[in-house]
Amino acid sequence: MATETVLDRFLRYVRIDTQSKEDSESYPSTAKQLDLLKLLAKELKELGVPRVDMDEYGYVMATIPSNVKKSVPVIGLIAHVDTSPEVTGANVKPQVIKEYKGGDIVLPGDPNIVIKESENLSLKLALGKSIVTTDGTTLLGADDKAGVAAVMTAVQALMTDTKIQHGEVKIGFTPDEEVGAGTKFFDIKKFGAQFAYTVDGDTPGELNKETFSANVCVITVEGRDIHPGSAKNVMVNSVRVVSEIIARLPKNISPETTDGYQPYIHPYVLEGGVGKSSVKILFRDFKTEGLAELKKIVDSVVAEVRSMFPNAKIDVKVTEQYRNMREGVEKDTRVADYLFEGAKRAGLHPEWKPIRGGTDGSRLTENGLPTPNIFTGGANFHGRMEWVNVWGMEKAVETVLNTLQIWVEKSK
C-alpha cells in the first residue's frame, strides 16, 4: 500500500456509509458498518501488521509487535467506525477548504446550512490551515472517522519508521459506539492491552479523562383509544399525558441550559398515538450518585401527572448506560500523564476537559481497561455543520506516536 496522509485516508473513509441504528436487533446494528471494518482489516494486513483479526461481531483487532528489548506495558489504540443515527451518512461529499481565511462557511449543497465563525471558536485554530466540511446535505463522519484515519496513519508510521520506539501495540476498531453498544461484545482479555486510548475527541489539544455517567429512562404511557365522537369521559389520550410529563421537566436542567460539569435531563425520542405513547429521556451527570437525583425529579413529575390522569397507566424504566471513567483512569496516573506529555511534545498546549457525553473508553475503563480519550480535530459532531481541522488530525497522530515512545522511555 502506498504511503497515505491522514487526509487521504479520511476522505476515503467518510464516503463509506456506516450509520448505526438504535433499537436494532442485530449486531452490528447495521450491516454496512462491516464494509469499513473489512476494509480496515485488509489495510492493516497490507501495511504489514502480522496479526489481524475480525470476529463475528465485526470487531477488528490487530497486534503490532514491540521493537524494543525492555518490558513495556501493552498499549491499545481504539476508534469507532459508525456514525450517528441522527443524520444520514450516505453519499457524503466532503469539501476541502485549503488555507481557511476566517469567516462563515456557506455549504454548497444547501446554502441555508452555514458554519458560523461566531459559534465555532475552534475555527481560530484552523486559520491558514486546511479544513474539511460536508456539503450541507449529510453529516461528515469526522466522529469518528477522523479518529480511524489518525490511528491508521499512526500504524503506517509504526510499520515503516524503525526509529519510533514502542512496546507491543494493540489496534481496535469497533462498531455501534453511537448507539451505546460499542463495547457490548468487546473482549478485553482477547484484546490484550493493559492501557488504551480512544481517538474520539474534538478540539486539538483537548484530552479527556472524565465523561458523564449515563442512564436512559423510558416512560411509557398507556391510555384508552376510542372514536373522538364518543370520547367524553372515556378516552384517555396518552399523547396528552406524555406531553404533560415533558412540559413539566425542569428547563434549567437541560442540554440547552447547561455546560461544564452541570447535569441534565434530556427527552430526545417521542413516539405514539392516543392509545400508547413513550418518551426516551437521557440522564447525564459527572457524579454517578447524581443520576439517582435526576430520577427523583422525573418520578416527582410522573406522580403529579398521574394525579391528573388517574386512568392512564404510566411506566418508568431506567437502564444503565455507562459510567464516568475518571475513577478508573486515576488508579494508575501514568496512562493520563504520558498522554499529556505526548500532546505537549506535539507542540500543543494540552488541557483536560470533561466530555459531556461518553466514549467506548467509558465502558472499557469501567470494565478494567483504563482508556482516556484523544482529540481528533473535529467539531459539530452528529450534524450537517460537522467539520474537521486537518492539522488537528495530524497532531492527533503525533500525539499517539509521542505517547507510545514515552511509555518506552519511562519503562525500566
Q: Each residue of 2-37: pLDDT tens digit?
A: 689 999 999 999 999 999 998 899 999 999 999 999
Q: Print the SS3 string covering 17-71.
A: CCECCCCCCCCCCCCCHHHHHHHHHHHHHHCCCCEEEECCCCCEEEEECCCCCCC
Instruction: Find the helix packing angle between 390-410 and 142-160, rounded to 10°.
Output: 50
The yes-or-no verdict on residue 1 having pLDDT over 70 is: no
- Among residues 82, 285, 360, 386, the one annotated as catalytic is 82
Q: Each residue of 222-267: pLDDT tens digit?
A: 999 999 999 999 999 999 999 999 999 999 999 999 999 999 999 9
Count other Cβ atoms within 10 Å, centred on residue 338: 22
Is residue 222 part of the annotated active site? The answer reads no
Is residue 304 part of the annotated active site? The answer reads no
How sure is the predictor about 327, in pLDDT bands with cuts at 50, 70 and 90?
confident
- What confidence score (pLDDT) does residue 395 get? 98
Question: DSSP 3-state assignment of 51?
Answer: strand
Q: Which helix or strand (DSSP H or E) is residue 240 part of?
A: helix 238-248
Q: Each residue of 48-71: pLDDT tens digit?
A: 999 999 999 999 999 999 999 999
Q: Each residue of 344-401: pLDDT tens digit?
A: 999 999 999 999 988 899 999 999 999 999 999 999 999 999 999 999 999 999 999 9
- Among residues 17, 143, 168, 177, the one annotated as catalytic is 177
Q: How many residues does the chain have?
A: 412
Q: Which domains does the chain have, with CATH numbers?
A: 6-211+324-410 (3.40.630.10), 213-321 (3.30.70.360)
| CB-side neighbour CA atoms (13 Å) of 356 | 13
Asked if residue 84 lies in contact with residue 381, where contact means CB atoms within 8 angstroms, the answer is yes
